[in-house]
Amino acid sequence: MPKTKKIPMRMCIACKQMKPKGEMTRVVKNADGEIFPDPTGKAQGRGAYICGEEECLKKLADKKLLHKCFSANVAPEVYREIEGERLGKE
């Protein structure tokens, strides 16, 4: 029987659903405290994942979920950048 490759799953911080890592956008807070989208998924630091559902993106900004996730103030530009990143993938 051939081995099937395991697909890494991550939880969306907005809808709390487990989805394949490749379908989600990773946001990172690095050691310097900078928060930014990580399209490669390989940047060093604490990561959080958001899926591409429109309501999740809306909830992300409305409820300031990244503020809560990283216990830090997140610039509105970061939220806009994430939205642009997600819209570019679809």
Domain that holds residue 36: 9-89
Distances (CA, A) of 22 to 18, 32, 47, 60: 12, 26, 14, 19
Residue with tokens 């310097």: 32
Residue 59 domain-assigned (yes or no): yes
Instruction: Kindly tell me if the per-residue pLDDT of 1 is higher than 70.
Output: no
pLDDT bucket at 88, cuts 50 / 70 / 90: low
Residue 76 domain-assigned (yes or no): yes
Residue 40 phi, psi (nearest 5): -80, -25
Calculate mean pLDDT across residues 17-37. Answer: 95
Can you name the residues that pair with 27 across neighbouring β-strands? Answer: 37, 48
Residues 12-23 have pLDDT tens digits of 999 999 999 999
- Report the domain count for the chain: 1
Instruction: Let me know the angle formed at the C-alpha of 72 by 46 and 23, rounded to the nearest 5 degrees.
Output: 45
Residue 1 domain-assigned (yes or no): no
Residue 3 domain-assigned (yes or no): no
Query: Looking at residue 57, which CATH number applies to its domain?
Result: 3.30.1230.10
